[in-house]
A and B are shown apart, each in its own frame.
Chain A
């Protein structure tokens, strides 16, 4: 009994100080105005201002586009990799780019997308002429999808890998076509992986402020960008915390909608 307490003291201290306290503080802070008075004004302002509401809607919309795009690219990829001979090695190659610092990958796109960058060189070469690519919505969505794809592939691959092949054989034996087997057997049984991937991509996509800053210029404002702006630029922590609470609520909604598997498809198993 005694040793249990000794094991857990630092760990419980961590939970109290770094899990519960910060979350409580962000809620507490959201009720204070920039001058330090207790008020509901932040929430009132948030709910009545078309700027904040539009920003929230946009942020959710962008995150949805990024997640759906990542899913559309990742599902076939995971499916095809699962059928390869050295699938674990190929999976490792998918995971490897997640070990490269996210900012370096983003930085690469500043070069690729710039006015005289390689993408524009290519467009000129095929006769499409050069375009402003950097600092557009499309470039933000592209880069964010690029960064998130491995996190979508991993959980889907795992669920495909766990799928019992005799179920697919059974479906074939019972006369199902390839498409029927895919739609009626493979897709439903890999739904947990898709949900886990959805969670792993959607929630970070709401808060990727560094990519909006570096690639989206200041055109794309997500919930994350707004929080960073309020905390580190305008120093309006109350409003920043209010948006933070909204982001936490959005996170809970997503987790509720995609519940049944809780582990985030992290970098490595």
Chain B
């Protein structure tokens, strides 16, 4: 028994090592004084300095963040209202049909989404660039928002809404005072997922970006095709730190919300028992 335990631990350690080594390797060489990823000649910040002096790269980072923030915001709005609408549909078959259509972009390979959007934009005569990238990112983020928000709406009891109406709330009041607060965690999760989808996307953006406009993923791809450039390593270290902060922040936020809920429930219980 004891020997088996060791063997299984060894296996897990190996899997985790393989998962993390390439990432740590990238980060390690970002501090290399030399110019390659095979010989560490000494510690240096020089690649970070080059990165911060690279105005082209900085404007690409800004573009990427603007696209992510905007597309996630608009996708969250459309997706949340879409989910609210879907929930009101009484016909089971219609609801299932819409949900299948919703999931088309979730399961389609990126290349198909990219290629079909490229045909679509060309067909409509939309110029490739910021606009087409933003529209595409909104489009592929909407289904994930719907999938995050819909379960929260389904969880919420209809009685609450009926009670709000009975107490004289208008439709708008019922929506903003009862429904939206109840589904806020879902909306947050949806926004967060949409945001990371947008930051991470390469294939779709690559198809619809045209010539003048570029996002981080596309830029990394074109630099990687030219070979090793330790400025990319420096960039990846920063991106790793940012994703750690994002994930950590997101988990802290959901924990905080949950504990707040528990506190509230406890307080309510105490009040009732008194």
Contacts and interface: CB of A to CB of B under 8 A. Distances in A.
Interface stretch (A38-46, A76-84, A186-194): A76-84
Q: Which of A107, A117, A227, A251 has the most CB of B within 10 A?
A: A107
Contacts, number: 223
A143 B29 CA distance: 20
B112 A207 contact: yes
Interface stretch (A49-57, A159-167, A168-176, A258-266): A258-266
Interface residues of A, number: 79
Interface string A73-111: 100110011000000000011101101111111111111
A213 B240 CA distance: 24
Interface in B91-117: 98, 101-113, 115-117
Contacts of B144: 266
A23 interface: yes
A232 interface: yes
Interface in B211-228: 216-217, 220-221, 224-225, 227-228
A48 interface: no
A8 interface: yes
A118 B37 CA distance: 8
A8 B82 contact: yes
B85 interface: yes
Contacts of B119: 22, 25-26, 29, 237, 241
Contacts of A137: none
A224 B109 contact: yes
B236 A121 contact: no
A21 B135 CA distance: 14
A116 interface: yes
Q: Which of B37, B88, B171 has the most CB of A within 10 A?
A: B37
A81 B12 contact: yes
Contacts of B252: none
A10 B78 contact: yes
Interface of B: 8, 11-12, 15-16, 18-20, 22-23, 25-26, 29, 36-39, 77-79, 81-82, 84-86, 88-89, 98, 101-113, 115-120, 123, 135, 139, 142, 144, 146-147, 171, 189, 193, 196, 199-200, 202-203, 206-207, 216-217, 220-221, 224-225, 227-228, 232, 235-236, 239-240, 243-244, 246-247, 251
Given A228-B206, A231-B207, 12 more contacts: A7-B82, A10-B77, A10-B82, A11-B142, A76-B11, A92-B247, A103-B217, A207-B111, A209-B111, A209-B203, A232-B206, A244-B112
